[in-house]
């Protein structure tokens, strides 16, 4: 099958590499054309415009930064080019945004499947992303051969909106777990407790999550470069979760402080760095300015 992929950033670029390694014919488009170069060397066809890419393929994969950007691409730039084509929307957007997109794509003669993923560049390159889908069951089955290139076990959770809700719920856990661990780590260090002694206790408890060890070295060294998931995206997704949760009647007051803290990442220059740079913000008076 011929695929057109829109958005060749951190995750999108890795997905493109995986599809090429699996032998798919791939057209790529990005707002920054220089990102096409490495993919072109691997066999991708670079498109000058979204319309050109869409015209070459029946399957259109979007991996863009947010809902408004995705909507603008599909409904304002490609528009009628969606007729007879299937959009697999993999970027993390709001559940309501996804449902609105599905309706709009359908009105233009296209089909729509949301397929957000848990995992980043390493998992995408290995084809081991955790992929959750929302949309018609028949469409999910038709897309399965393509989805299996990216995930060993793609799962359909329900209609459009369901997979996005699950994805936002998972990313809320990323933010909350990272925040909780960061505060605990700072406190034990400032109290003179050896980090490894604390970690041994934590690892042997029901409180342990593997992400703690995954991010420990970065937080101890203050090296948040080469991100798998940038801080700006974590903040965006947490805000989307809060909005969805409030629309469902949930009490989200506990998240307001964390969102407020993450707003400080922008002036601190942490937005493009790995999301565990949150550790620099929880440091309080030691300040993000002291981080490398």
* Residue-wise DSSP of 173-234: HHHHHHHHHHHHHHHHHHTT--HHHHHHHHHTSTT--HHHHHHHHHHHHT---S-SSBHHHH
pLDDT of 287 strictly over 80: no
**Taking residues 233-254, what's their average pLDDT?**
96
Question: Residue 31 — very low, low, confident or very high, per pLDDT cuts 50/70/90?
Answer: confident
Question: Residue 285 — very low, low, confident or very high, per pLDDT cuts 50/70/90?
Answer: low
Question: Residue 288 — very low, low, confident or very high, per pLDDT cuts 50/70/90?
Answer: very low
pLDDT at 34: 82
Q: What CATH number is attached to the domain comprising 241?
A: 1.10.1040.10
pLDDT of 206 strictly over 80: yes
Same domain, 179 and 282: yes
Task: For 35-68, write each residue's pLDDT tens digit.
Answer: 888 999 999 999 999 999 999 999 999 999 899 9
Q: What CATH number is attached to the domain comprising 98?
A: 3.40.50.720
Same domain, 155 and 41: yes
Least Cα distance to 170 among 218, 213, 229 occurs for: 229
Strand 117-118 to 111-114 pairing: unpaired
Same domain, 273 and 202: yes
CB 122, CB 13: distance < 8 Å: no
170: containing domain: 164-290
Same domain, 209 and 108: no
Q: Six-digit token pair at 195?
A: 């980090």
Determine the Cα angle at 190 with ends 187 and 195, to 5°: 75
Task: For 125-177, write each residue's pLDDT tens digit.
Answer: 999 999 999 999 999 999 999 999 999 999 999 999 999 999 999 999 999 99
pLDDT at 37: 87
Range with the poorest average pLDDT among 27-36, 69-78, 128-137, 208-217: 27-36
pTM, two decimals, is 0.92
Same domain, 155 and 176: no
């Amino acid at each position: 099958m011929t695929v057109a992929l829109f958005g060749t950033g951190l995750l999108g670029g890795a997905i493109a590499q995986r599809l090429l390694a699996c032998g798919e014919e791939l057209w790529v488009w990005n707002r920054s054309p220089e990102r096409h170069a490495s993919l072109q060397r691997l066999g991708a066809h670079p498109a000058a415009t979204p319309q050109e890419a869409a015209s070459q393929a029946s399957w259109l994969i979007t991996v863009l930064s947010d809902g408004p950007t995705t909507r603008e691409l599909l409904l304002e730039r490609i528009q009628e080019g969606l007729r007879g084509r299937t959009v697999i929307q993999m970027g993390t957007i709001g559940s309501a945004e996804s449902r609105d997109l599905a309706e709009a794509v359908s009105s233009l003669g296209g089909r729509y499947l949301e397929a957000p993923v848990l995992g980043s560049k390493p998992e995408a390159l290995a084809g081991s992303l955790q992929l959750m889908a929302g949309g018609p069951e028949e469409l999910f089955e038709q897309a399965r051969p393509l989805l299996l290139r990216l995930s060993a076990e793609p799962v359909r959770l329900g209609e459009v909106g369901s997979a996005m809700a699950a994805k936002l719920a998972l990313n809320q856990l990323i933010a909350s777990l990272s925040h909780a661990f960061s505060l605990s780590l700072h406190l034990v260090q400032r109290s003179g407790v050896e980090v490894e002694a604390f970690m041994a206790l934590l690892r042997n408890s029901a409180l342990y999550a593997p992400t703690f060890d995954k991010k420990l070295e970065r937080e101890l060294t203050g090296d948040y470069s080469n991100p798998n998931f940038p801080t700006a995206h974590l903040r965006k997704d947490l805000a989307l979760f809060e909005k969805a949760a409030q629309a469902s009647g949930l009490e989200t007051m506990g998240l307001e402080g964390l969102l407020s803290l993450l707003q400080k990442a922008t002036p601190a220059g942490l937005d493009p760095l790995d999301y565990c740079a949150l550790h620099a913000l929880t440091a309080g008076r030691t300040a993000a300015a002291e981080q490398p």
